Structure 1
Amino acid sequence: MTAHTLPQPEYSRNMRLIGHSNQGGKPDGVQVMVHRGYAYIGHMVSQGFSIVDVRDPKNPRDAGFVAAPAGTWNVHLQAHDDLLLVINARDLFADVRFADEKVYYTRSVSETVQGSNARGWSAGVRIFDISTPDKPREISFLSLDGIGVHRIWYVGGRWAYVSALLDGYSDYIFLTLDLADPCNPQIAGRWWLPGMHTAGGETPSWPEGKRYALHHAIISGDTAYASWRDGGLTLLDIKDKNAPQLISHRNWSPPFGGGTHTALPLPDRDLLVVLDEAVLDNQEDGEKLIWLFDIREPANPVSIATFPQPNERDYVSKGAHFGPHNLHENRPGSFVSSTLIFATYQNAGVRAYDISNPFQPKETGALVPAAPTVMMDTRPGRPQIIQSCDVFVDPQGIIYSTDYNGGLSIIEYLG
């Protein structure tokens, strides 16, 4: 797609669209990683992951697709050095029981799928050698029981950290993985919120209609900053990878709507950006916010500010999800900043914020991509509206953002 045929963004301020890819005809995207000039994109519908050559970000080129096993989705992945880690989990949105989003977001996944017959999916983590970036070669598979893995944090070295729904638990919990030999990965430790280990006799202590489940953790030093959807935030001491220990737990749902998705530590400033994901249409799950916490005292994280919300139009009535989804996660080898934060806001696109003054975050740029031209999401009644999902910023400051239906937007920040 050449520059003159770029889809016209609905809105932009201090950002401009410089490239777009429909990902080889599979424009449904969830997590995106850009590594050595190639974008690796997990799909929501297309059951696999795509590779796009973005060495020239203005002219992205399809560079391959790796299929998932039957009945399996690869929504999330992580690339570092010569390794690509890809999640395998049951394709839940292909299951008619999850056709209504509320079922997925307001009750334990294990409760919905219990009594399922023969397992028609693959659960675990696939590890690929990507020393040739556009030719991933699978070198190992960590097989797990249960529904599978939702998301991974891996930035090189011996350890990876995943959220996994194993048999015997109500929903996704925290696991540490030992990759001392990447051809033979092993589970090292696990941690969960009390009440989640149903096979161990625990019973949920949380209210009906709430979903306590690890979305994922971001690791800094010996601390895992973990987001538990309606279960809030935990800081875990992971010095001993085999036995994570709780440092602190904060939950603000209720009164707020939950959906805690990402906790991004800014260690040089003792700050933590915590994002609550909007998960239902027209803000039915309440107003969702991006919070800034002071974590000078890890045992007592304190919220000190919220980020401003997009307000150049009425996004609630626009339809679909309005509210935060994910943050650019400051991974080693990507754009790293503790004052400039990038987030996706679903029907309000991609946003940039300056948090130099931690008590007064300011929006400094925005781009709302055009509505998708095709709908990949097969769930009935989904609106044909942009839902900017993930965001990755490369070391040059180029922004890559996925959408469930609208392909990959490549954006330049002009701030």
Structure 2
Amino acid sequence: MTNDHLPKAEYAKNMRLIGYSDQGGRPDGVQIMVNKGHAFIGHMFSQGFSVIDVRDPRNPKPVAYVPSPPNTWTLHLQAHDDLLLVVNAKDLYRDAVLMDERKYYVGSMSDKLGLQAEQSYSAGFRVYDIKNPAAPREIGFMPVEGVGVHRIWYVGGRWAYMSAMLDGFSDFIFLIVDMADPTQPKIAGKYWLPGMNIAAGEKPDWDDKALRYSCHHGLVSGDTAYVTWRDGGVTLLDIQDKTAPKLIAHRNWCPPYGGGTHNALPLVDRDLLVVLDEAVLTDCADGIKHIWLFDIREPSNPISISTMPTPSEIDYVKKGGHFGPHNLHENRPGGFVSSELIFATYNNAGVRAFDIRDPYRPVEVGAFVPAAPTRILDHRPGIPPILHANDVYVDANGILYLTDMNAGLSIIEMTG
């Protein structure tokens, strides 16, 4: 595909499109990993994951699609060296009640699942050998009793970190998993916010009909896990003992802010933590969300010191769909790693790059808003044909790989 035939961007600043793929006719992308010259992409609606050969980023080629078991989500995945970890969970967007995003995001998940007729699905995560990245080969599976696993953090070695909704809990909690034998992963430790273990008789001290306290996932640096909890904010956990995570600090700003805390990126060389709140409701019904910068010099007392500037070159609220942050590039080993340049997806405002050399005054230095999707795979009623940029991975050469809910894979380079 030549540049003349690439989709025309809605907006660009210091970025340009160099490659595009409809992912083999499955343009619904969620998390993306680039490893061994191949992009591994979890799907939102196509129930499986795809592999795209991106050794030439200007000419991406779909090379594999691995379907999930029936009624099973494979939204998120992690690739490192020769291993690929892929989540399995109940496809919650196949349930009539949860097709309403307000029902999905507002209040605890366990209350809503009680309304649903049970379906057959796979819950846990699968491990694939990707020595040959174009032909993933399943070698292990860790089942869980419950809804399943949502998101994983794995950068090699013995330990993986994930969120999972297990039977007996109100929503997703934080798990530490022993990967010593990748063919037989085992849960080593668990952490949840007090009030979530309903099987043990715990009672929430929050309004669980209006707020959703649910672990999204955690990133790990050294012996500290930085774990996000949607409407429950962020926790710093001491995980030196993998079987018994201990709370260092918990911060929550919902209310008065709108919650949806999605991921927390530690920049330990600068004693900073980037925390992103996800925009989850159409037309900003959950308010304008922010990307926060915290000072973590004293880990027991994280202090918010600034927010990233909100895109404003057009009225993105009026544009429709979701406007606001979704996900951060997470500085994975082998990819682009920086404590000064931060990348984030922004739903209908595409992807943004922020310079945080002055942590008290972050500056937007790049932006790219791809073309709107030409077809909508989202089967939920009333979904507008609007861009919903999902995830971004930046490789070691600074090339951005951007997925979208319906609009395929955009491959972008910085020009400024």
TM-score, normalised to structure 2, is: 0.99
Deviation by residue 1:164-223 (Cα, 9 ceiling, x = unmatched): 000000000000000111111100000000110000001121123110000000000000
Q: Helix, strand or coil: the match of 1:51?
A: strand
Corresponding letter in the other structure for 2:43 = H
Question: What residue number does 2:264 align with?
Answer: 263
**Equivalent-residue separation in structure 1 for 2:61 and 2:372 (angstroms):** 21
Q: CA deviation at 1:116?
A: 4.2
* 1:63 maps to 2:26: no
Whether 1:137 aligns to 2:137 is yes
Alignment of 1:46-61 (within 5 A): 46-61=46-61
Q: How does 1:327-346 map to 2 (within 5 A)?
A: 327-346=328-347
Secondary structure of the corresponding residue to residue 111 of structure 1? helix
Aligned counterparts of 2:203 and 2:271: Cα–Cα separation in 1: 35
Deviations 1:372-412 (A, max 9, x none): 00001000010101011100000000000100000001000
AA paired with 1:190? Answer: K
Q: Which amino acid aligns with 2:113?
A: V
- Structure 2 letter corresponding to 1:386: L
Structure 1 residues 166, 2: CA separation in 2 closer, same or farther (over 3 Å shift)? same
CA distance in 2, matches of 1:228, 1:122: 24
Runs of 4+ in 1 over 4 A off after TM superposition: 115-119
2:316 aligns with 315
Whether 1:184 aligns to 2:184 is yes
SS of the residue 1:97 aligns to: coil
Aligned residues: 415
Q: Distance in 1 between matches of 2:265 and 2:293?
A: 10
Determine if the alignment matches structure 1 residue 107 to structure 2 residue 107: yes
- In structure 2, how many angstroms separate the alpha carbons of the residues matched to 1:254 and 1:291? 15
Aligned to 1:348: 349
Q: Say if 2:273 and 2:294, in contact at 8 Å, map to a contact too.
A: yes
Does 1:242 pair with 2:243? Answer: yes
Q: For residues 38 and 206 of structure 2, what CA distance do their matches in structure 1 show?
A: 42
The amino acid across from 1:197 in the alignment is N
Q: Distance in 1 between matches of 2:117 and 2:15?
A: 49
Aligned equivalent of 1:227 = 228
User: 2:214 aligns to what SS in structure 1?
Assistant: strand
Q: CA deviation at 1:43?
A: 0.3
Rounded Cα–Cα distance in structure 1 between residues aligned with 2:392 and 2:116: 34
C-alpha distance after superposition, 1:86-111 (max 9, x if no partner):
00000011111111100010021111
Aligned to 1:405: 406
SS at match of 2:226: strand
Distance 1:55 1:126, change over 3 A: same
Rounded Cα–Cα distance in structure 2 between residues aligned with 1:287 and 1:333: 33
Contact kept in structure 1, 2:175 and 2:187, CA below 8 Å? yes
Amino acid of the structure 2 residue aligned with 1:363? E
Which stretches in structure 2 are left out of the alignment for 5+ residues? none
**C-alpha contact 2:224 2:237 (8 A) present in aligned 1:** yes
Residue 2 (structure 1) shift: 3.4
Q: Secondary structure at the match of 1:229?
A: coil
2:372 maps to 1:363 = no
Unpaired runs of 5+ residues, structure 1, are none
Per-residue CA shift, 1:105-143, capped at 9, x if unaligned?
Answer: 002111111154544100001000000011100001001
Task: Give the C-alpha shift of residue 48 in structure 1.
Answer: 0.2
Distance (Å, rounded) in 1 between the aligned partners of 2:305 and 2:359: 8
Q: Which residue of 2 aligns with 1:34?
A: 34
Q: CA shift at 1:3, angstroms?
A: 2.5
Identical pairs, percent: 64
Match of 1:206 in 2: 206
Alignment of 1:165 with 2:156, yes or no, is no
Q: TM-score, normalised by structure 1?
A: 0.99
Provide the residue aligned with 2:8 in structure 1. 8
* Distance in 2 (alpha carbons) for counterparts of 1:69 and 1:18: 34
Q: Distance in 1 between matches of 2:410 and 2:46?
A: 18
Equivalent AA in structure 2 for residue 157 of structure 1: G
Q: Supply the distance in 1 between the matched residues of 2:62 and 2:2 (Cα, whole angstroms).
A: 14
After superposition, the CA RMSD in angstroms is 0.8
The code of the aligned residue for 1:59 comes to: N
